Chain A
């Protein structure tokens, strides 16, 4: 049989040879042309090929051994039978160190990649990064998994068959860009450019996206901000106007009052912030108290933890202010001088928010509330609050955060060393200037600026991301083309089923291009998928609001060449723009991406040490901070200089200083100071602006007085959409939270220290640590329902009753017998935890992928047990063994009785979450959802 086969191969070889097929028969050759091209030539063109024997003699090393290789960055863990598990001591010797910035969460820590033989073998923190100071978390280390994941998208794909059927074919970049350009050109020329929507997940190439969209002429740039931090930002803006991000000076603090932030595991500041918190505690003796429904790792590491009833953080905070004022422990001078209310006004406003009242609504003890409040006041001004989604992601989240931040004004820690600080530099040092940008697009879109949410877009464009699929479904807005970028909305958006329905519906989204490094849940609903580079293969200048309270610039560089045909938007947007034409192309005349980066970084000054400046300096150091700049403490006390005062006018009655009609400062105690950048030049406890803007009143005067001219009145499209916004920090309870029935709980979600929301469960090193998310229940709650660890429950979730009344435009779905609208049901196992409020139920997010690689789905490859990996040692389970060592695969086939604890890939909690924007800002109220539970089996 074999000899026959051999003869046949010889015949085939001869036939091929006669047709000119031999040597390198590459894709660049035209097979049909080969025979006719030249009968004396083996290929169409004479390719340079062959073996250089002399070179081989000189260069060959020991034979390459199969199956006993070290993986990049892997220290093989001891497994059964493993004999040798440590990397060779020279593994990291003589590596090239390349700077970059992580992008596996929002913190963008500076990193250094160790590259050897064109392969990244290790990631470490960059000690030159002033914010992260050389620290990097587990996610950062797992960047190696991200870069070298075996299921990465490497080629452009085009859908064939029905959308979401999962049938694809490879196309070339030329074909992809031609098709996209044709569609986008049509949209652009249709007169409705806003019907091209760009929908981003986590993005750190702001300039590249803005350049493309502004050049195109659409402002429909959708984001996830309202699913993240909208309330905290809006609350900060009411007080400060110039910054939406408080940078708590915890390293110099004596008292840290944490409302629902899990900074030790997630949070926008994560590593930079957690590191400074611990420095504050261990080097400065700071006390940390956490209020959180759940005992997070941050709460668990605090000196005291309290679990208030969900959504009552604001009530507790107001009661604390009440207690401080009542005990005369407030900073009267700060309140009288630097806020726009008097102590008496504030006391009057807070009189009913007593600790006893707060104790009743929160379930905490009034004595604890008062005690913590007075401790906080005693530590001031080196005392600060911190908060995040625990308090923000509620139907009353805007007011929760207003109330929390008020505490800092009451004790006078605003802007003080060790207190509640901020900086006007949310990103790059303003010294660096992007090469000339196109003028901003002028379009308006209901999806980008829904008129129902007055504070979503007036200071910053925070948008209301969670409503977009609903509004499309309702026919309130229309799209011709939709481009998604690093987005996993079917997993991370509320109402999974609605999101999927809309993404699948070609009448609602006629053309969908997905840009991603992996085939995630969003890509599944695309028409064209473009393989995106990882953050280890592309360029950016990047920075976050720094806890050093001064700006900096960091650089993201390609540490290795992009794998396969993966490309970054900086690389292919210029080509796409040229194909669309119509003037777009003129914004891409800057040369190569490196030329662009060089121009962008050109103002980075010369280093005294190395003599390098600009891009060269950043490439060497990875980050640059202007250390001559003082930290941004008490900016309101800065005296205006002669140049600033030249031509200025002082209002004798109010002391307000203005120039050319714009506020620039205020006279306090005879000194001309900068003040706060608000209309009153003070910390605005009473915000006239939010009240007026809520009612669509003209706020031009207030905006001019603040000097913050980027703040906008609401556009004419908002007319008729008035919303009552209280000018003072208040607190109310969502109606459905009052009087919960026996089987009702409030659902809360959380992140782990090894995951972000939707982009890390494919990374094996991280998935191995956390891959599932049973529902947490307090033991007392479990006992009431006769539940124990491992039992299964069915969770049913409901739309918000409060929003049914306040936001009827959101209403969809049929009401059940009790008059409530069900969002979804889900069956999950339970785990009992003392660390949870008894009226809450907690499930982590990040889990429950149904796409996004086998690791994310916790599916071993079929047959992997039979020794799939060449040469692998079946007795030594190695991390590098991508397929076989997935010990957490769920073998139950959906039968709860056979489910083994800690197996499977978990459940997508967003299947249960209703679309629930805070009526003021639009922030998604992830933590306010009321659910019912029933024991199964």
Chain B
């Protein structure tokens, strides 16, 4: 397969591709927010005019990047207490939620997806990490698709969503309860809302097909 970057500009002529591109961007962005703590660059990015407006409209409480040192420390502590612990946390790892232990069969399934989805991965990233799964979905959605393959990609997208993203709807309410900052509380809510919308959309697509 030719591995090429995707055009940044949504091709207006192709509604389907545009739709995938737009959704893929949301997955990619959320994936970043779940994979690691917010750093100064990401905070700065979120505060860009266009983006902060959209994020705010969705209900995300974006911290101002003027108060960075304390804000970042506070956000890092919150991220840690929600996802990393070291105690009473909710690991954002599918295996834990599905089978109670790390590196369960969800990891095997993820590995089988990565055999045909090429994505750059930090080798220390847990393969069934929700943030990484969001990024895999983003990659699937951003992948160039030949007309003959549209059906296949739709199937992959649907399967992957069902198998590796829906589980997080159990995680997110628990994470909301643990979050101490409005940013992470709202991030969980926005993400849950996004997954709910995606579920609805996918069900509709399946019904159509």
* Chain A residues near B (Cβ < 8 Å): 2, 5-6, 8-28, 30-35, 39-43, 46-57, 59-61, 63-64, 66-67, 69-72, 117-119, 144-145, 147-155, 157, 160-161, 166-170, 519, 523, 529, 563-565, 851, 853-854, 863, 868-871, 880-883
Q: In the assembly, what is the distance between CA of A508 and CA of B26, in Å?
A: 50
* A31: contacting residue among B44, B120, B145, B152, CB under 8 A: B44
Is there contact, CB below 8 Å, between B163 and A563?
no
Is there contact, CB below 8 Å, between A24 and B107?
no
Residues of chain B within 8 A of A153, CB atoms compared: 85-86
Asked if B208 is an interface residue, CB under 8 A from chain A, the answer is: no
Residues of chain A within 8 A of B96, CB atoms compared: 150, 882
- B54-79 CB contacts (< 8 Å) to partner A: 54-55, 57-58, 73, 76-77, 79
Interface of chain A: mostly helix, strand, loop or mixed: loop
Decide: A168 near B81, CB < 8 A? Known: A71-B99, A529-B86.
Answer: yes
Is there contact, CB below 8 Å, between A5 and B58?
yes
A30 CB → nearest B CB, Å: 5
* B1: contacting residue among A13, A50, A66, A563, CB under 8 A: A50
Q: In the assembly, what is the distance between CA of A154 and CA of B80, in Å?
A: 11
Residues of chain A within 8 A of B159, CB atoms compared: 63-64
- B159-197 CB contacts (< 8 Å) to partner A: 159, 162-163, 166-167, 170, 174, 193-194, 196-197
Is there contact, CB below 8 Å, between B22 and A13?
yes
Residues of chain B within 8 A of A19, CB atoms compared: 45, 48, 50-51
Is there contact, CB below 8 Å, between B200 and A2?
yes
Q: In the assembly, what is the distance between CA of A119 and CA of B170, in Å?
A: 25
Residues of chain A within 8 A of B101, CB atoms compared: 71-72, 144-145, 148-150, 880, 882
Query: How many chain-B residues does the 8 Å CB contact rule pick out?
Result: 102
* Chain B residues near A (Cβ < 8 Å): 1, 3-10, 21-26, 28-29, 31-32, 35-37, 39, 41-42, 44-45, 48, 50-51, 53-55, 57-58, 73, 76-77, 79-81, 84-89, 91, 93, 95-109, 111-112, 115-122, 124, 126, 135, 138-140, 142-146, 149, 152-153, 156, 159, 162-163, 166-167, 170, 174, 193-194, 196-197, 200-201
A605 CB → nearest B CB, Å: 37
| 5 extra interface residue pairs, beta carbon distance < 8 Å, beyond A26-B32, A55-B116, A854-B88 | A12-B51, A27-B36, A50-B4, A51-B117, A64-B159
B67 CB → nearest A CB, Å: 16
Decide: A13 near B25, CB < 8 A? Known: A117-B111, A167-B81.
Answer: yes
B190 CB → nearest A CB, Å: 9
Is there contact, CB below 8 Å, between A12 and B55?
yes
Is there contact, CB below 8 Å, between A23 and B99?
no
A350 CB → nearest B CB, Å: 56
Q: In the assembly, what is the distance between CA of A523 and CA of B152, in Å?
A: 49
**Which B residue sits closest to A69, measured CB to CB?**
B105
A871 CB → nearest B CB, Å: 7
Q: Which 5 A-B pairs have the closest CB atoms?
A: A13-B22, A519-B86, A882-B100, A16-B25, A148-B101
A878 CB → nearest B CB, Å: 8
Residues of chain A within 8 A of B156, CB atoms compared: 51, 56
Residues of chain A within 8 A of B174, CB atoms compared: 863, 868
Q: In the assembly, what is the distance between CA of A851 and CA of B4, in Å?
A: 49
Decide: A23 near B142, CB < 8 A? Known: A16-B25, A31-B32.
Answer: yes
In the complex, 23 of the A-B residue pairs with CB atoms within 8 angstroms, ordered by the A residue number, are: A8-B57, A19-B48, A21-B45, A23-B138, A24-B31, A40-B7, A46-B5, A49-B120, A51-B153, A52-B118, A56-B156, A63-B159, A64-B112, A117-B111, A119-B103, A148-B101, A157-B84, A160-B76, A168-B86, A563-B126, A868-B170, A870-B98, A880-B101
Is there contact, CB below 8 Å, between A71 and B122?
no
Q: In the assembly, what is the distance between CA of A529 and CA of B162, in Å?
A: 36
Is there contact, CB below 8 Å, between A157 and B80?
yes
Decide: A25 near B77, CB < 8 A? Known: A519-B86, A564-B124.
Answer: no
**Which B residue sits closest to A166, measured CB to CB?**
B87
Is there contact, CB below 8 Å, between A16 and B28?
yes
Residues of chain B within 8 A of A152, CB atoms compared: 102
**Which B residue sits closest to A173, measured CB to CB?**
B124
Residues of chain A within 8 A of B87, CB atoms compared: 151, 166, 519, 851, 853-854
Q: In the assembly, what is the distance between CA of A69 and CA of B163, in Å?
A: 13
B123 CB → nearest A CB, Å: 8
Residues of chain B within 8 A of A119, CB atoms compared: 103, 107-108
Decide: A31 near B77, CB < 8 A? Known: A12-B26, A52-B118.
Answer: no
Is there contact, CB below 8 Å, between B42 and A9?
no
Residues of chain B within 8 A of A853, CB atoms compared: 87
Is there contact, CB below 8 Å, between A25 and B135?
yes
Decide: A21 near B29, CB < 8 A? Known: A8-B57, A12-B55, A69-B104.
Answer: yes
Is there contact, CB below 8 Å, between A27 and B1?
no
Residues of chain A within 8 A of B163, CB atoms compared: 63-64, 66
Q: In the assembly, what is the distance between CA of A119 and CA of B140, in Å?
A: 26
* B100: contacting residue among A8, A42, A60, A150, CB under 8 A: A150
Q: In the assembly, what is the distance between CA of A3 and CA of B92, in Å?
A: 28
B199 CB → nearest A CB, Å: 11
Residues of chain B within 8 A of A145, CB atoms compared: 101
Q: In the assembly, what is the distance between CA of A64 and CA of B128, in Å?
A: 14
Q: In the assembly, what is the distance between CA of A153 and CA of B89, in Å?
A: 12
Is there contact, CB below 8 Å, between A22 and B25?
yes
Q: In the assembly, what is the distance between CA of A529 and CA of B107, in Å?
A: 26
Is there contact, CB below 8 Å, between A13 and B73?
no
Is there contact, CB below 8 Å, between B118 and A50?
yes
**Which B residue sits closest to A144, measured CB to CB?**
B101
Q: Which of B104, B111, B140 has the most CB of A within 10 A?
A: B104
Is there contact, CB below 8 Å, between B100 and A881?
yes
Is there contact, CB below 8 Å, between B102 and A149?
yes
**Which A residue sits closest to B25, measured CB to CB?**
A16
Is there contact, CB below 8 Å, between A17 and B10?
yes
* B45: contacting residue among A34, A63, A70, A151, CB under 8 A: A34
B146 CB → nearest A CB, Å: 8
Q: Which of A12, A39, A66, A154 has the most CB of B within 10 A?
A: A12
Is there contact, CB below 8 Å, between A22 and B41?
no
Q: In the assembly, what is the distance between CA of A119 and CA of B107, in Å?
A: 9
Is there contact, CB below 8 Å, between B25 and A21?
yes
Is there contact, CB below 8 Å, between B135 and A170?
no
Is there contact, CB below 8 Å, between A869 and B28?
no
Residues of chain B within 8 A of A868, CB atoms compared: 97, 170, 174
Is there contact, CB below 8 Å, between A67 and B98?
yes
* A42: contacting residue among B6, B80, B146, CB under 8 A: B6
Is there contact, CB below 8 Å, between A32 and B45?
yes
Is there contact, CB below 8 Å, between A49 and B102?
no
Decide: A24 near B135, CB < 8 A? Known: A52-B118, A564-B126.
Answer: yes
Is there contact, CB below 8 Å, between B112 and A61?
yes
Residues of chain B within 8 A of A40, CB atoms compared: 7-9
Residues of chain A within 8 A of B153, CB atoms compared: 51, 53
Is there contact, CB below 8 Å, between B115 and A59?
yes
A288 CB → nearest B CB, Å: 40
Is there contact, CB below 8 Å, between B26 and A51?
no
Q: In the assembly, what is the distance between CA of A275 and CA of B108, in Å?
A: 38
Residues of chain B within 8 A of A519, CB atoms compared: 85-87
Q: In the assembly, what is the distance between CA of A160 and CA of B37, in Å?
A: 15
A434 CB → nearest B CB, Å: 29
**Which B residue sits closest to A117, measured CB to CB?**
B108
**Which B residue sits closest to A879, measured CB to CB?**
B100
Is there contact, CB below 8 Å, between B8 and A50?
no
**Which A residue sits closest to B127, measured CB to CB?**
A118
Is there contact, CB below 8 Å, between A10 and B100?
no
Q: In the assembly, what is the distance between CA of A868 and CA of B100, in Å?
A: 10
**Which A residue sits closest to B38, measured CB to CB?**
A31
Is there contact, CB below 8 Å, between A17 and B126?
no
Q: In the assembly, what is the distance between CA of A55 and CA of B149, in Å?
A: 12
Residues of chain A within 8 A of B143, CB atoms compared: 49-51
